[in-house]
Amino acid sequence: MDFDFSDDQEQLRDAVRKWVDKGYAFERRRSIEQGGGFSREAYAELAELGLSGLYVPDDQGGMGMGPVEGMVVMEELGRGIVLEPLAQTLIAGAVLSGYASDAVKAAWLPRIVGGEALVVLAHQERSARYRLEVCDAKAASAPAGWVLTAIKSVVPAGDMADAFLVPAIADGKLALFLVERTTSGVTTRGYGTQDGGRAAEVTLQNAPATLITLDGLTALEHALDIGIAATCAEGVGVMEKTLAITTEYMNTRKQFGVTIGSFQALRHRVADMKMQLELARSMSYYASLKLNAPAKERRAAMARAKYQLGNSMRFVGQQAVQLHGGIGVTDEYIVSHYFKRLTQMELTFGDTLHHLGEVSSRMQDTAGVFA
């Protein structure tokens, strides 16, 4: 199998890397974090690069690219621990392109591609614990379409988004709807997250909604798998930069008259971090390559990938803090922000234990052999 990237993919990587290095330095990120955890200006810059239309087809005004290009972009954004939720935009573009009616596509896809509209997935509920089939949200038919009643938790940039993709029970079956934030019956309570980003509790009370598809579970599983693949790729970028910062610190910090990077025990720890990074990278590639596979195969692949990424992110983040010592947890020092991002990402789209359960349940069907 050829793992070399094409010239177009390398050019895309270079463009995003240059933006992160020059346009999203640590000082800017800290100012965005202090300002609430989301910047419309920075999000618009991502859209100017064409990234908001990455998964939107050419005929809808997007770039019409695939999972490998998405992986390349998210890796580079991970290196800069970019706070703006581009993974949510990838989800929205793909889901609306694949499941929405022509009228909904025409109304929303051009706005998403242009960066004018941020559409995020609002699927988590307090009682669900990552289980997609558990949904207390209710949809009822109305003269003008549908109305939704729901409480959704930890919605990325929920109080800043323009619309939400909301799963709800309609006629006894899970369906997927689009709800505008400014419509009647919608209230949001925003808050900062531990990694410096932003989320919100979204409450819908008979809020008008637009139906995307009545086959909501299929669309929701696809949406989460796109998010998992993006999170895996972003995690690789975060870990790669964390390792680079740690090795640089070890080659400059002196103890007993020599750099601590010369101590064999600490070098072994760095080698273990590198091993976990490469394990994670291989599973990120695996997730991206399986993103267009049949649903059953795709779901199994995402669980395996997210389980390995969860383990790797926790290990790399914790070892980075240990090797830095006390400075590794100070807000003024950059590695603490990478550690917090890795910790948050382990819980995103299902934590490690959840995905271990998913892997285990599927292995029972194959006698422990990956199909």
**Mean pLDDT within 7-25:** 95
* H/E element, 178: strand 173-180
Instruction: Say if residue 261's pLDDT is above 80.
Output: no
- pLDDT confidence of residue 367: 54
Enumerate residues 6+ apart whose C-beta is below 8 A from 340: 194, 195, 196
pLDDT band at 281 (very low <50, low <70, confident <90, very high): very high
Q: What is the pTM of this model?
A: 0.94
- pLDDT confidence of residue 267: 92
**Mean pLDDT within 151-179:** 96
Instruction: Say if residue 266's pLDDT is above 60.
Output: yes
Query: Which range scores top for mean pLDDT: 160-174, 242-256, 352-366?
Result: 160-174
Average pLDDT of the chain is 94
- pLDDT confidence of residue 52: 96
Instruction: Say if residue 108's pLDDT is above 70.
Output: yes
d(CA 249, CA 230): 29
In CATH, the number for domain 119-214 is 2.40.110.10
Instruction: Say if residue 1's pLDDT is above 70.
Output: no
Instruction: Say if residue 259's pLDDT is above 90.
Output: no
**Mean pLDDT within 316-338:** 93
pLDDT band at 254 (very low <50, low <70, confident <90, very high): confident
Helices (H), 35-135: 40-48, 67-79, 86-99, 102-113
d(CA 349, CA 322): 27
Closest-CA residue to 149 (of 161, 128, 133, 135): 135
d(CA 346, CA 349): 8
- pLDDT confidence of residue 144: 85
- pLDDT confidence of residue 368: 53
Is 219-363 a domain of CATH 1.20.140.10?
A: yes
**Mean pLDDT within 102-107:** 96
- pLDDT confidence of residue 369: 55
* Assigned CATH topology for domain 7-113: Butyryl-Coa Dehydrogenase, subunit A; domain 1 (1.10.540)
Contacts for 248-251: CB closer than 8 Å, 24+ residues apart: 249/323, 249/324, 249/335, 250/323
Among 82-86, 142-146, 181-185, 336-340, the minimum mean pLDDT is found in 142-146
Closest-CA residue to 307 (of 286, 330, 332): 286
Q: Mind listing the pLDDT tens digit for each residue in 216-238?
A: 999 999 999 999 999 999 999 99
Closest-CA residue to 300 (of 365, 235, 233): 365
pLDDT band at 285 (very low <50, low <70, confident <90, very high): very high
Strands 138-142 and 145-156: antiparallel
- pLDDT confidence of residue 263: 82
- pLDDT confidence of residue 3: 73
Domain ranges of the chain: 7-113, 119-214, 219-363
Higher-pLDDT residue of 365, 331: 331
Among 80-89, 182-191, 325-334, 336-345, the minimum mean pLDDT is found in 325-334
